A and B are shown apart, each in its own frame.
Chain A
């Protein structure tokens, strides 16, 4: 009973380690000829050692862009990144490009959704994994290959020594994602950002990959940012969840709390649009309407055009009109923040 693996998620969340990453009022804009696209509009969060933070949202909610801004891999211009990104206390946006580059890999690492297109088709997987050691640590080709094989074994790729010279297209989807993971953890990063790591995979393979990520996190104590739109994945592996809509965080709390009782109508809508085993036979309730155009985000609460609980005009409380007054992200109950004027009513509903 002493094995730490058996401790429930809530227990892990209760003992967060040292703070690794602080994101403070992050904004990302893309200035284009047709206008300015506001992809990320004031996102703040912190990530501690060993913590898993899920960032949940539809496509276009700014979750991937905010992660790429943290990595420093957005092309600037056209992207304009402002706000604060502190990695282990150091302000990344104030650093030179070269200092930033040296954090990518050993400090913060990232894996992407589609491993086939995210791996270079013309180099063997061993070469691509070994490149981390050659570039960051000056390892020899032979040494890099040896360590690439070790890593491939660590992410449980069968017959690693035989497959090290194979090319990405010769692997299955799940194995390719393992190659991506091996590459990302090569230098024992403090933080791993996983951008939809299992979206392109079969359900059974999804579970294996998520298990692998959790095991690696337990071994290394790295912080994990999991970007996904899959509520099931969030529920299984994350400690905390931040729900994003139109480039802002609209709700934040522990996974258990948020999933038990949402405090924002958008989160509530997401929960209702997923099939539930208990409610079999009932109708799904999709969120009506389309995600907002990030070049023309609605005034007031960005979600109000799609919100079933919106209060407009005279029905609204003073200063809390959904179409004109932008709701701040505020503490609703202890441990829970939401950006809705009427969270107290959503909570309990």
Chain B
């Protein structure tokens, strides 16, 4: 197991290099001139403009720019934004907001999704099964952007159940954005759990568990659920990384100063170092949680061994 993990961690290095280069190239290819835009309506003095271009290596070709970036990166320097603020500081300040949002979203996704899926799965075609089917279909068919604004308007503004924006209310500020961020995945988790539970309820070993005279609750929780959750855990783990992408929209709508919001702003300003630094970090999270999932997989299912 240790060797497997070490190998997987080593494999993240080329993936991170490739991903960061792609992001770097995409920012490079963005139309418009970031330095010219800095001055707003007036143009900057040519000397100042030249100095900025020089400072951010904007006159170099793509590969040279990227080479200099990576050279600094391996020394632990993520670069600075146009206001001379180190990117590492931005990340340090904003990451906790996104982590909180992701934690809330994952909790919603796992708890509500799994409970709904189990209730639907143990009584297939029953009333609850149909409720889950209809509501999940509804949720997955609404884009997150629409869902975010509708939720903000209805639950935040009209009903007043949740704070509308910002982070002033502590964890409470994250409930509504977390729910919105989790919605699509939550629906998927419910459907996945439902299918998996319904299938396992008919498995031979569940019949054995009944024949052993185990109470129904034990048959479901110990003998059906554990096996049913293997694909669900896999999905949730991989989804943690994917949620970071969704966070860009959610943080913007709910005005949460997280890294998603920071990336959104940085793209608008074409601040290459910020975009590349944060997105590469997101890629790293994605890979890391996928690794966690694979390790967890072996814990949940003893038939899987990596050595």
Tell me if B215 is interfacial: C-beta within 8 Å of chain A. Answer: yes
Q: Which residues of B contact A135 (CB under 8 A)?
A: 212-215, 218
The reply on A39 being an interface residue by CB < 8 A is no
Q: How far is the CA of A245 from the CA of B208 in the complex (A)?
A: 26
Let me know if B208 and A112 touch, CB within 8 A.
yes
Interface residues, chain A, CB within 8 Å of chain B? 68, 71, 73, 97, 101-106, 109-110, 112, 114, 117-122, 124, 131-132, 135-136, 167, 169, 180, 183-184
A73 & B205 in contact (Cβ 8 Å cutoff): no
Count chain B CB atoms within 10 A of each CB in A106, A109, A122 and give the residue with the most. Answer: A122
Contact, CB under 8 Å: B213 / A136: yes
A167 touches B208 (CB 8 A): no
Query: Which residue of the partner chain, among A101, A118, A124, A169, contacts B213 with CB atoms under 8 Å?
Result: A101
A114 to B211 Cα, complex, angstroms: 15
29 interchain pairs, CB-CB under 8 A = A68-B207, A71-B210, A73-B207, A73-B210, A101-B213, A101-B215, A102-B213, A103-B213, A106-B213, A110-B211, A112-B208, A112-B211, A118-B207, A118-B208, A120-B205, A120-B208, A120-B227, A121-B227, A121-B303, A122-B301, A132-B212, A135-B212, A135-B213, A136-B213, A167-B303, A169-B302, A169-B303, A180-B208, A183-B208
Q: Which DSSP category, helix, strand, loop or mixed, fits chain B's interface?
A: helix
Chain A residues with CB under 8 A of B301: 121-122
B127 to chain A, nearest CB (A): 15
Closest B residue to A116 by beta carbon equals B204
Instruction: Give the shortest distance, in Å, between B90 (CB) and chain A (any CB).
Output: 44
- Whole-angstrom CA separation of A117 from B205 in the bound complex: 6
| B interface residue numbers (CB < 8 A to A) | 203-205, 207-216, 218, 223, 226-227, 300-303
Contacts of A105 in B (CB 8 A): 212-213
Given contacts A105-B213, A120-B227, 8 further A-B contacts (CB under 8 A): A117-B204, A118-B205, A119-B208, A120-B208, A122-B226, A131-B212, A135-B214, A180-B208
Given A73-B211, A104-B211, A136-B213, CB of A122 within 8 Å of CB of B300 = yes
Q: How far is the CB of B125 from chain A (nearest CB, A)?
A: 11
* Residues on B with beta carbons closer than 8 Å to the beta carbon of A102: 213
Interface pair A104/B210, CB less than 8 Å apart: yes
Distance in angstroms between the alpha carbons of A112 and B211 in the assembled complex: 10
A131: chain B residues at CB < 8 Å are 212, 214
Which residues of B lie under 8 Å from residue A117 when comparing CB positions? 203-205
Cα distance, A213 to B223, chains bound together (Å): 27
Closest residue of A by beta carbon distance from B302:
A167
Residues on A with C-beta less than 8 A from B227 are 120-122
In the bound complex, how far is the Cα of B211 from the Cα of A103, in angstroms? 10
Shortest CB distance B203–A (Å):
7
